[in-house]
């Protein structure tokens, strides 16, 4: 019993460290601020509370005196749902070339907020041997998602990283809507 408590304590510490360290490892480390290095600020998400599967707008201000921003990256640094924490889901390009030639301005990207059900326990078996899994609708999951945004220019210089969170509500059941 004592080993189990110790394992739980170590697991809890690991979760706290993962949340506070922002362990989304990427190949793009933020470049040292200086001439020619892009900078972003004032990241916001609208709306801050959205239904699972809804579109939200990410907006941020950018400044790059060379005007050579080529990629906007979006990563999920944390996702909390069904009492489960996921961290370090790597970034992906959400916009390529859209801000090339602009030295400063406000970027706006639309994304779809989707949370999938966490993997459940092993399926229950009925007496006849068939599988009896509880049904979980795709949109029936809610939670909190933390996004991280940064930009990269033609020289491969990555901007600073900003984070924003969105609260995801489960979709209303079909019979409740009608």
The verdict on residue 80 lying in a domain is yes
Find the CATH number of the domain harbouring 67.
2.60.40.10
- If you average pLDDT over residues 39-67, what whole number do you get? 95
Distance of alpha carbon 109 from alpha carbon 56, whole angstroms: 8
The verdict on residue 91 lying in a domain is yes
The verdict on residue 93 lying in a domain is yes
Distance of alpha carbon 47 from alpha carbon 3, whole angstroms: 45
The verdict on residue 126 lying in a domain is no
- If you average pLDDT over residues 163-172, what whole number do you get? 89
The parent domain of residue 22 ranges over 2-118+137-172
Strands 162-169 vs 143-153: parallel, antiparallel or unpaired: antiparallel
Whole-number pLDDT of residue 17: 43
Residue 76 has pLDDT above 50, yes or no: yes
Q: Of how many residues is the chain composed?
A: 178
Residue 20 pLDDT class (50, 70, 90 cuts): very low
When divided into structural domains, the chain yields a total of: 1
How much is the pTM? 0.69
The verdict on residue 124 lying in a domain is no
- If you average pLDDT over residues 94-112, what whole number do you get? 95
The verdict on residue 127 lying in a domain is no
């Amino acid at each position: 019993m004592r080993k189990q408590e110790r394992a739980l304590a170590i697991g809890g510490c690991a979760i706290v460290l993962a949340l506070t360290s922002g362990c989304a490892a990427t190949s793009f480390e933020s470049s040292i601020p200086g001439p020619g290095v892009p900078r972003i600020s004032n990241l916001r998400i609208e709306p801050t509370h959205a239904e699972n599967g809804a579109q939200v707008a990410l907006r941020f201000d950018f400044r790059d005196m060379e005007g050579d921003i080529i990629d906007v990256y979006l990563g999920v640094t944390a996702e909390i749902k069904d009492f489960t924490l996921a961290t370090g889901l790597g970034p992906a390009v959400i916009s390529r070339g859209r801000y090339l030639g602009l030295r400063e301005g406000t970027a706006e990207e639309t994304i779809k907020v989707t949370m999938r059900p966490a993997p459940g326990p092993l399926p229950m078996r009925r007496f006849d041997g068939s599988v009896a899994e509880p049904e979980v609708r795709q949109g029936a999951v809610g939670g909190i998602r933390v996004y991280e945004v940064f930009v990269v220019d033609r020289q491969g210089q990555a901007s600073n990283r900003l984070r924003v969170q969105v609260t995801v509500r489960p979709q209303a059941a079909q019979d409740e809507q009608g």
